[in-house]
């Protein structure tokens, strides 16, 4: 009888194993449904309605908040039937710009269309070139676009596009983002509130060196240079133009200072008469918030100045109040954490609105009376995001969200309703609707995304708290292999980034772990990630600890993580690998070369190897210019340590990489040759800074095979 029962257990185990879904590289890199199905374009369309597109991308819903009534506003097939045959290439809803609860506009295939509910009509209002490099709609449906580096504006009355500039080129660009998307810059076109004026960047790159990238599909291969300002070299010259749509008048702001200063966080005053610009010196240790007359371009005044002995990094423009347009809210890290400050437009500081050892990560909005400010912050734990309401009359705050996870919100235009969004380690996505008057009450509408990994056996994940040498708390994520057996010894893959502006470990879906890490745990690896000093959302001291010495403290913190792993009885300390991309590629290579023997195997994708070769904007913020910090640059230059390599290293680089240019890896390869060290190198000839699309499966296969093969040699 006992044998029969044992046979039953074996068969049951095999049956369960056969039913278990398997993570595959093809599935995690393809459109396989393994990612949470979140509604797209969730937004308020007026004070009473919000809309969203379902996870299929084919149905647009409108919800009346008061009654939580959902109705189908439009289906994608119906929209496609309204579009001329030659333009019916829509596979999903485009980005929608709502004009009211029953009408929206969108850009598609060279046209600006407007749809109206009730009549169910679609008409085109403007045209733009399909090859446009940038497009921007005003709230009043004015359209500006950039083609061949020149700026155009569609004139509604004339029914044609008018050229604002004529001399655009690769060296002289109009209307595109400046400063390589640093300082919170995401675009180069800025409409005034009433759509009567357009501010834009004019970027002169004639003094910026060309960097040669090669198109290997041409015969012979062709040089396709990009403008790339390397650390310490000549940078771009940025100006801000203002075009008056009604008068066709063009002026440029009379900015003062060196040609290579930064002009960031462009913001219109509520009335559209003034522009506010955060002016940052090239050294990036001083910021001046300046006011300009938008009609003449004349400089009016500097409202205030912020300085820091290391660097300042303004990433948000002023948020003006509507009922009191002479006041605005300003983000600043001046007290060591990112907080909110209330200013008068004269430059007078009225109040510090938030304070404490946490980061305000986002302003959600203000209610109609502007009595309450809603914001998201890390208060309580940097692993979470919580939503707060601040009474601007007495600065009393109320927590509107609770529990571990990432809480955020969308406030209705009047502030009467609030949509809370939430994701947690085991919660892919939730939306909850609240009425927000005298009492904060939950309404019937709710949405929960199904778990896309139901039926898959994943490794158990936990957050680990460690300490740096100076006692600074560090957070790490540990994923045990699926089917974990504490009596076994498992190999380790450490996944690392470690640089500014990134936080990998937090209480989001799967604790922030990408599916490739779950896949590797399924292959029998302990997968470990630690956010070292220098990474994001921990305050200025935590981030600035790496100033002028990138790669040093970060490695010490990562070494603390390895020391912890070595205390675990199920870790095979003789089979440990490290993998990272970009700054993570720099870190993985640094750990292999500057901490020889710490890991047996390393994989570095798109690695920074010499900060002298990196761009002006980012590189000079954290390292200063190379001739001002020779010791720091030499200490962080990886070629200097090539002879110390122990173990096996694979370097991967996209040869079209205009972020971490291929010269980084080429210098390192030459150093390995000189040191008589054999390493592995894999180029992706057609890819930029990362490998995306169908080739990503190929990339992951290379990484997995290399780590498996080389670690098994140590088994």
Q: Catalogue the active-site residues.
A: 582, 657, 689
Q: How far apart are CA 604 and CA 132, in angstroms?
A: 35
Sign of the Cα pseudo-torsion (286, 290, 296, 298, in order): negative
Spatial CA neighbour of 129 closest among 144, 139, 142, 114:
144
CB atoms within 10 A of CB 548: 17
CB proximity list for 274: less than 8 A, separation 6 or greater: 268, 291, 292, 293, 294, 300
CB atoms within 10 A of CB 110: 15
Q: How far apart are CA 593 and CA 582, in angstroms?
A: 16
Q: How far apart are CA 185 and CA 514, in angstroms?
A: 27
CB proximity list for 225: less than 8 A, separation 6 or greater: 210, 211, 212, 213
Structure tokens of 148? Answer: 């061949």
Can you tell me which residue has the tokens 């029962």? 5
Structure tokens of 215? Answer: 């198109």
Residue/partner pairs of 621-625 with CB below 8 Å, 24 or more apart: 621/182, 621/284, 621/311, 621/313, 622/311, 622/500, 622/546, 622/547, 622/548, 622/550, 623/231, 623/547, 623/548, 623/550, 624/283, 624/548, 625/231, 625/232
* Per-position DSSP letters for 236-301, written without gaps between them: -EEEEEEEETTT--EEE----S-TT-EEEEEEE-TTSSEEEEEEE-TTSSEEEEEEEETTT--EEE
Strands 406-411, 397-399: pairing kind: unpaired
Sign of the Cα pseudo-torsion (502, 504, 505, 509, in order): positive
Sign of the Cα pseudo-torsion (184, 188, 192, 194, in order): negative
Spatial CA neighbour of 353 closest among 372, 336, 367:
372
Strands 427-436, 648-654: pairing kind: unpaired
Spatial CA neighbour of 74 closest among 60, 53, 88:
60
């Amino acid at each position: 009888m006992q044998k029969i029962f044992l046979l039953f257990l074996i068969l049951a185990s095999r049956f369960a194993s056969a039913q278990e879904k398997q993570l595959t590289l093809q599935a995690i890199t393809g459109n396989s449904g393994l990612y949470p199905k979140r509604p797209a374009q969730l937004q308020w369309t007026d004070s009473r309605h919000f809309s969203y597109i379902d996870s299929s991308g084919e149905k647009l819903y409108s919800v009346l908040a008061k009654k939580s009534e959902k109705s189908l506003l439009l289906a994608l097939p119906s929209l496609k039937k309204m579009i001329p045959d030659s333009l019916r290439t829509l596979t999903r809803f485009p980005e929608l710009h709502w004009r009211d609860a029953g009408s929206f506009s969108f850009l598609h295939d060279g046209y600006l269309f407007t749809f109206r509910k009730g009549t169910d009509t679609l008409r085109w209002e403007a045209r733009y070139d399909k090859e446009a490099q940038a497009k921007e709609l005003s709230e009043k449906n004015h359209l500006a676009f950039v083609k061949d580096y020149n700026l155009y504006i569609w004139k509604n009355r004339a029914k044609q596009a008018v050229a604002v500039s004529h001399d655009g080129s690769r060296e002289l660009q109009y209307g595109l983002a400046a400063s390589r998307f640093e300082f919170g810059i995401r675009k180069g076109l800025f409409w005034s509130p009433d759509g009567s004026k357009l501010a834009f960047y004019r970027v002169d790159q004639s003094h910026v060196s060309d960097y040669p990238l090669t198109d290997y599909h041409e015969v012979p291969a062709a040089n396709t240079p990009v403008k790339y300002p390397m650390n310490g070299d000549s940078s771009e010259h940025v100006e801000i133009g203002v075009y008056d749509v009604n008068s066709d008048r063009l002026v440029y702001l009379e900015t003062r200072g060196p040609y290579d200063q930064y002009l960031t966080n462009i913001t219109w005053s509520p009335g559209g008469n003034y522009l506010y610009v955060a002016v940052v010196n090239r050294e990036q240790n001083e910021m001046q918030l300046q006011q300009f007359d938008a009609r003449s371009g004349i400089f009016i005044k500097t409202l205030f100045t912020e300085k820091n002995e290391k660097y300042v990094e303004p990433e948000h423009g002023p948020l003006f109040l509507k009922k009191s347009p002479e006041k605005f809210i300003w983000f600043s890290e001046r007290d060591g954490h990112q907080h909110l400050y209330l200013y008068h437009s004269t430059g007078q500081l009225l109040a510090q609105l938030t304070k404490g050892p946490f980061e305000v990560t986002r302003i959600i909005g203000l209610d109609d009376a502007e009595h309450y400010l809603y914001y998201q912050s890390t208060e309580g734990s940097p692993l979470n995001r919580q939503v707060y309401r601040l009474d601007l009359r007495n600065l009393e705050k109320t927590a509107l969200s609770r529990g571990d996870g990432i809480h955020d919100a969308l406030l209705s235009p009047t502030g009467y309703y609030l949509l809370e969004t939430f994701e947690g380690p085991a919660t892919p996505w939730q939306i909850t609707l609240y009425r927000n008057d005298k009492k904060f009450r939950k309404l019937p509408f709710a949405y929960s995304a199904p778990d896309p990994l139901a039926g898959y056996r994943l490794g158990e994940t936990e957050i680990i708290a460690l300490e740096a040498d100076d006692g600074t708390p560090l957070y790490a994520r540990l994923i045990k292999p699926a089917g974990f057996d504490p009596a076994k010894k498992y190999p380790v893959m450490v996944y690392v980034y470690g640089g500014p502006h990134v936080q990998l470990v937090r209480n989001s879906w799967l604790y922030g772990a990408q599916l490739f890490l779950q896949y590797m745990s399924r292959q029998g690896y302990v997968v470990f990630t630690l956010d070292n000093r220098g990474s994001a959302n921990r305050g200025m001291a935590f981030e600035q600890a790496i100033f002028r010495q990138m790669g040093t403290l970060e490695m010490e913190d990562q070494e603390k993580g390895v020391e912890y792993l070595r205390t675990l009885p199920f870790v095979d300390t003789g089979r440990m690998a490290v993998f990272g991309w970009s700054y993570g590629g720099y870190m993985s290579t640094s750990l292999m070369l500057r901490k020889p023997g710490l890991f047996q195997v390393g994989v570095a994708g798109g690695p920074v190897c010499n900060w002298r070769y990196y761009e002006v904007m980012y590189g000079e913020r954290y390292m200063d210019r190379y001739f001002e910090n020779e010791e720091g640059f030499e200490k962080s230059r990886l070629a200097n340590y090539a002879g110390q390599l122990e173990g096996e290293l694979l370097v991967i680089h996209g040869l079209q990489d205009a972020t971490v240019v291929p010269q980084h890896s080429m210098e390192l390869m030459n150093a390995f040759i000189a040191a008589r060290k054999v390493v592995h190198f894999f180029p992706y000839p057609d890819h930029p800074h990362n490998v995306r699309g169908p080739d990503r499966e190929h990339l992951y296969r290379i990484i997995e095979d290399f780590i498996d093969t080389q670690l098994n040699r140590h088994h």
